[in-house]
Amino acid sequence: MPFKAGNISPDNQERINKILEVIIAYAGLDFTKKTEVKGSDDDVLDAIGAGVNMLGEELQTSTISLKEKEHLLKEIHHRVKNNLQIVSSLLNLQSESIKDPALLNLVTASRNRIHSIALVHEMLYASVDLTNIEMGDYIKKLSNNIRNSLSIPGSDVQFEFEINPCFLDIDRMVPVGLILNEIITNSFKYAFPNGKGIISIGIHSLHGRYILLIKDNGVGVPAGFELEKNSNLGLQLIKILTEQINGELNINFENGFSYSITFN
Protein backbone atom coordinates (compact mmCIF):
# COMPACT_ATOMS: atom_id res chain seq x y z
CA MET A 1 0.00 0.00 0.00
CA PRO A 2 1.54 3.38 -0.99
CA PHE A 3 2.55 5.65 1.88
CA LYS A 4 0.99 9.13 1.86
CA ALA A 5 1.62 12.06 4.16
CA GLY A 6 1.13 15.77 4.02
CA ASN A 7 3.84 18.26 3.01
CA ILE A 8 5.76 15.65 0.98
CA SER A 9 6.44 16.31 -2.68
CA PRO A 10 5.12 13.78 -5.20
CA ASP A 11 8.71 12.89 -6.14
CA ASN A 12 9.70 12.16 -2.54
CA GLN A 13 6.47 10.28 -1.92
CA GLU A 14 7.27 8.01 -4.84
CA ARG A 15 10.79 7.43 -3.49
CA ILE A 16 9.39 6.56 -0.04
CA ASN A 17 6.97 4.08 -1.60
CA LYS A 18 9.82 2.45 -3.56
CA ILE A 19 11.90 2.15 -0.37
CA LEU A 20 8.96 0.45 1.34
CA GLU A 21 8.56 -1.91 -1.62
CA VAL A 22 12.22 -2.90 -1.32
CA ILE A 23 11.89 -3.49 2.44
CA ILE A 24 8.82 -5.66 1.83
CA ALA A 25 10.77 -7.61 -0.82
CA TYR A 26 13.57 -8.22 1.68
CA ALA A 27 11.04 -9.52 4.18
CA GLY A 28 10.06 -12.07 1.53
CA LEU A 29 13.77 -13.00 1.08
CA ASP A 30 13.89 -11.36 -2.34
CA PHE A 31 17.19 -9.46 -2.35
CA THR A 32 17.27 -8.62 -6.06
CA LYS A 33 15.61 -5.24 -5.50
CA LYS A 34 17.56 -2.10 -4.59
CA THR A 35 16.55 1.43 -3.70
CA GLU A 36 17.68 4.30 -5.93
CA VAL A 37 20.38 6.50 -4.40
CA LYS A 38 20.85 9.86 -6.16
CA GLY A 39 24.15 10.68 -4.47
CA SER A 40 23.19 13.85 -2.62
CA ASP A 41 25.06 14.23 0.68
CA ASP A 42 22.24 16.10 2.42
CA ASP A 43 19.35 13.99 1.07
CA VAL A 44 17.70 12.13 3.98
CA LEU A 45 15.97 9.67 1.62
CA ASP A 46 19.33 8.92 -0.01
CA ALA A 47 20.74 8.05 3.42
CA ILE A 48 17.75 5.84 4.22
CA GLY A 49 17.93 4.19 0.79
CA ALA A 50 21.65 3.49 1.17
CA GLY A 51 20.98 1.99 4.61
CA VAL A 52 18.23 -0.23 3.22
CA ASN A 53 20.54 -1.44 0.41
CA MET A 54 23.25 -2.28 2.95
CA LEU A 55 20.69 -4.16 5.04
CA GLY A 56 19.66 -6.17 1.99
CA GLU A 57 23.27 -7.15 1.29
CA GLU A 58 23.81 -8.25 4.90
CA LEU A 59 20.56 -10.22 4.93
CA GLN A 60 21.44 -11.90 1.65
CA THR A 61 24.84 -12.97 3.01
CA SER A 62 23.27 -14.24 6.23
CA THR A 63 20.59 -16.13 4.34
CA ILE A 64 23.13 -17.81 2.06
CA SER A 65 25.18 -18.73 5.12
CA LEU A 66 22.10 -20.14 6.84
CA LYS A 67 21.19 -22.20 3.77
CA GLU A 68 24.74 -23.52 3.63
CA LYS A 69 24.51 -24.47 7.31
CA GLU A 70 21.16 -26.20 6.73
CA HIS A 71 22.64 -28.12 3.82
CA LEU A 72 25.64 -29.11 5.93
CA LEU A 73 23.38 -30.19 8.81
CA LYS A 74 21.27 -32.33 6.47
CA GLU A 75 24.46 -33.90 5.12
CA ILE A 76 25.62 -34.68 8.66
CA HIS A 77 22.30 -36.37 9.51
CA HIS A 78 22.48 -38.30 6.24
CA ARG A 79 26.02 -39.55 6.87
CA VAL A 80 25.36 -40.47 10.50
CA LYS A 81 22.25 -42.40 9.43
CA ASN A 82 24.17 -44.21 6.67
CA ASN A 83 27.07 -45.13 8.97
CA LEU A 84 24.70 -46.44 11.64
CA GLN A 85 22.83 -48.47 9.04
CA ILE A 86 26.13 -49.99 7.87
CA VAL A 87 26.90 -51.10 11.44
CA SER A 88 23.36 -52.45 11.76
CA SER A 89 23.74 -54.38 8.50
CA LEU A 90 27.04 -55.86 9.67
CA LEU A 91 25.39 -57.02 12.90
CA ASN A 92 22.56 -58.49 10.86
CA LEU A 93 25.00 -60.45 8.70
CA GLN A 94 26.88 -61.60 11.78
CA SER A 95 23.69 -62.81 13.44
CA GLU A 96 23.05 -65.26 10.58
CA SER A 97 26.04 -67.34 11.64
CA ILE A 98 25.45 -67.21 15.41
CA LYS A 99 24.24 -70.45 16.98
CA ASP A 100 24.28 -69.38 20.64
CA PRO A 101 20.75 -68.04 21.49
CA ALA A 102 22.06 -65.72 24.21
CA LEU A 103 24.63 -64.17 21.90
CA LEU A 104 22.06 -63.89 19.11
CA ASN A 105 19.70 -62.01 21.47
CA LEU A 106 22.55 -59.65 22.39
CA VAL A 107 23.39 -58.91 18.76
CA THR A 108 19.72 -58.41 17.86
CA ALA A 109 19.24 -56.03 20.80
CA SER A 110 22.32 -54.03 19.78
CA ARG A 111 21.09 -53.83 16.18
CA ASN A 112 17.68 -52.53 17.26
CA ARG A 113 19.25 -49.95 19.56
CA ILE A 114 21.37 -48.69 16.68
CA HIS A 115 18.30 -48.54 14.45
CA SER A 116 16.40 -46.42 17.00
CA ILE A 117 19.20 -43.83 16.78
CA ALA A 118 19.59 -44.08 12.99
CA LEU A 119 15.84 -43.48 12.61
CA VAL A 120 16.20 -40.13 14.40
CA HIS A 121 18.82 -38.96 11.90
CA GLU A 122 16.87 -40.40 8.97
CA MET A 123 13.77 -38.43 9.92
CA LEU A 124 15.71 -35.23 10.59
CA TYR A 125 17.39 -35.55 7.18
CA ALA A 126 14.01 -35.96 5.46
CA SER A 127 12.35 -33.16 7.45
CA VAL A 128 12.02 -29.51 6.53
CA ASP A 129 12.60 -28.77 10.22
CA LEU A 130 16.15 -29.96 10.89
CA THR A 131 15.85 -29.65 14.67
CA ASN A 132 12.64 -31.42 15.71
CA ILE A 133 10.95 -34.77 15.06
CA GLU A 134 7.24 -35.53 15.14
CA MET A 135 6.87 -38.24 17.77
CA GLY A 136 3.86 -40.02 16.29
CA ASP A 137 5.57 -40.93 13.03
CA TYR A 138 8.75 -41.95 14.83
CA ILE A 139 6.98 -44.21 17.34
CA LYS A 140 5.05 -46.04 14.64
CA LYS A 141 8.12 -46.63 12.47
CA LEU A 142 10.20 -47.78 15.43
CA SER A 143 7.45 -50.10 16.70
CA ASN A 144 7.02 -51.77 13.32
CA ASN A 145 10.77 -52.28 12.98
CA ILE A 146 10.96 -54.01 16.37
CA ARG A 147 7.98 -56.21 15.51
CA ASN A 148 9.61 -57.22 12.21
CA SER A 149 12.83 -57.98 14.04
CA LEU A 150 11.47 -59.98 16.99
CA SER A 151 8.21 -61.56 15.82
CA ILE A 152 8.19 -65.33 15.37
CA PRO A 153 6.05 -67.19 12.81
CA GLY A 154 2.43 -67.41 13.92
CA SER A 155 2.69 -64.58 16.46
CA ASP A 156 0.19 -61.74 16.52
CA VAL A 157 1.30 -58.76 18.58
CA GLN A 158 -0.61 -55.58 17.78
CA PHE A 159 0.03 -51.94 18.61
CA GLU A 160 -2.44 -49.35 19.82
CA PHE A 161 -1.41 -45.71 19.57
CA GLU A 162 -2.80 -42.63 21.31
CA ILE A 163 -0.38 -39.88 20.38
CA ASN A 164 -1.06 -36.17 20.61
CA PRO A 165 0.97 -33.87 18.30
CA CYS A 166 4.40 -33.70 19.87
CA PHE A 167 7.81 -32.58 18.61
CA LEU A 168 11.15 -33.34 20.25
CA ASP A 169 14.65 -32.13 19.46
CA ILE A 170 17.52 -34.53 18.88
CA ASP A 171 18.89 -34.16 22.43
CA ARG A 172 15.68 -35.66 23.83
CA MET A 173 14.71 -37.76 20.82
CA VAL A 174 17.69 -40.12 20.94
CA PRO A 175 17.26 -41.15 24.62
CA VAL A 176 13.46 -41.31 24.25
CA GLY A 177 13.89 -43.50 21.17
CA LEU A 178 16.20 -45.84 23.08
CA ILE A 179 13.74 -45.96 25.99
CA LEU A 180 10.93 -46.92 23.62
CA ASN A 181 13.13 -49.55 22.01
CA GLU A 182 13.98 -51.19 25.36
CA ILE A 183 10.40 -51.22 26.64
CA ILE A 184 8.86 -52.56 23.43
CA THR A 185 11.64 -55.16 23.15
CA ASN A 186 11.01 -56.33 26.73
CA SER A 187 7.32 -56.79 25.94
CA PHE A 188 8.09 -58.89 22.87
CA LYS A 189 10.60 -61.01 24.78
CA TYR A 190 8.74 -61.62 28.03
CA ALA A 191 5.09 -60.53 27.94
CA PHE A 192 3.57 -62.86 25.35
CA PRO A 193 4.66 -66.51 25.67
CA ASN A 194 1.80 -67.51 23.36
CA GLY A 195 2.87 -64.89 20.80
CA LYS A 196 -0.34 -62.86 21.05
CA GLY A 197 -0.97 -59.55 22.75
CA ILE A 198 -1.31 -55.80 22.58
CA ILE A 199 1.22 -53.05 23.26
CA SER A 200 -0.30 -49.62 23.88
CA ILE A 201 1.79 -46.47 23.39
CA GLY A 202 0.67 -42.93 24.12
CA ILE A 203 2.21 -39.51 24.59
CA HIS A 204 0.63 -36.23 25.59
CA SER A 205 1.57 -33.00 27.33
CA LEU A 206 0.35 -31.82 30.71
CA HIS A 207 1.33 -28.60 32.49
CA GLY A 208 4.31 -28.07 30.20
CA ARG A 209 5.65 -31.61 30.52
CA TYR A 210 5.39 -34.68 28.32
CA ILE A 211 4.01 -37.98 29.58
CA LEU A 212 5.04 -41.12 27.70
CA LEU A 213 2.96 -44.22 28.45
CA ILE A 214 3.81 -47.75 27.28
CA LYS A 215 1.75 -50.72 28.41
CA ASP A 216 1.33 -54.37 27.45
CA ASN A 217 -1.43 -56.81 28.38
CA GLY A 218 0.99 -59.68 28.82
CA VAL A 219 1.47 -62.25 31.56
CA GLY A 220 3.06 -59.79 33.97
CA VAL A 221 5.62 -61.05 36.47
CA PRO A 222 5.90 -64.23 38.55
CA ALA A 223 5.03 -64.29 42.24
CA GLY A 224 7.75 -62.85 44.44
CA PHE A 225 9.15 -60.67 41.67
CA GLU A 226 11.18 -57.74 42.98
CA LEU A 227 11.93 -55.03 40.47
CA GLU A 228 15.28 -53.96 41.92
CA LYS A 229 16.64 -57.51 42.21
CA ASN A 230 15.39 -58.70 38.83
CA SER A 231 16.32 -55.71 36.65
CA ASN A 232 17.89 -56.73 33.34
CA LEU A 233 20.20 -54.62 31.21
CA GLY A 234 17.25 -53.16 29.30
CA LEU A 235 15.55 -51.92 32.47
CA GLN A 236 18.79 -50.49 33.81
CA LEU A 237 19.24 -48.65 30.52
CA ILE A 238 15.68 -47.28 30.74
CA LYS A 239 16.45 -45.82 34.18
CA ILE A 240 19.72 -44.25 33.02
CA LEU A 241 18.12 -42.71 29.93
CA THR A 242 15.19 -41.36 31.95
CA GLU A 243 17.66 -39.58 34.24
CA GLN A 244 19.43 -38.22 31.14
CA ILE A 245 16.27 -36.34 30.07
CA ASN A 246 15.55 -35.29 33.68
CA GLY A 247 12.49 -37.50 33.67
CA GLU A 248 10.53 -39.47 36.22
CA LEU A 249 9.94 -43.19 35.72
CA ASN A 250 7.06 -45.14 37.20
CA ILE A 251 6.58 -48.87 36.60
CA ASN A 252 3.49 -50.91 37.37
CA PHE A 253 3.31 -54.67 36.84
CA GLU A 254 -0.06 -55.63 38.31
CA ASN A 255 -1.71 -56.29 34.93
CA GLY A 256 1.05 -56.79 32.43
CA PHE A 257 3.80 -54.19 32.44
CA SER A 258 3.09 -50.45 32.40
CA TYR A 259 5.66 -47.67 32.12
CA SER A 260 5.04 -43.97 32.67
CA ILE A 261 7.82 -41.50 31.92
CA THR A 262 7.35 -37.79 32.58
CA PHE A 263 9.88 -35.33 31.19
CA ASN A 264 10.28 -31.73 30.06
β partners of residue 184: none
How far is the C-alpha of 259 from the C-alpha of 43, rounded, in Å? 70
Question: Domain range for residue 43?
Answer: 10-63
Residue 72 lies in a domain: no
Specify the range with the lowest mean pLDDT, choosing from 70-74, 134-138, 180-184. 70-74
> Residue 92: pLDDT above 70?
yes
Residue 138 lies in a domain: yes
Residue 261 lies in a domain: yes
Which H or E run contains 217?
Answer: none
What pLDDT is recorded for position 65?
67
Are 45 and 15 spatial neighbours (Cβ–Cβ below 8 Å)?
A: yes
Q: What are the residue ranges of helices labelled H in 127-169?
A: 135-150
Report the candidate in 26, 29, 28 with the shortest Cα–Cα distance to residue 53.
26
**66 confidence band (pLDDT: 50, 70, 90):** low
| CATH (domain of 217) | 3.30.565.10
Residue 115 lies in a domain: no
> Residue 201: pLDDT above 90?
yes
Residue 24 lies in a domain: yes
Residue 76 lies in a domain: no
Domain boundary among 63, 84, 100: 63
How far is the C-alpha of 163 from the C-alpha of 139, rounded, in Å? 9
Per-residue pLDDT tens over the stretch 134-164: 999 999 999 999 999 998 888 899 999 999 9
Residue 82 lies in a domain: no
Query: In the chain, how long is the greatest CA-to-CA distance?
Result: 92
- Please state, in angstroms and as integers, the Cα–Cα distance from residue 114 to each residue in 73, 94, 251, 257, following that order: 20, 15, 25, 24
Together in a domain, 136 and 54:
no
Domain total in the chain:
2
Q: What are the residue ranges of helices labelled H in the chain?
A: 10-27, 44-95, 101-126, 135-150, 170-186, 233-244
What pLDDT is recorded for position 85?
83
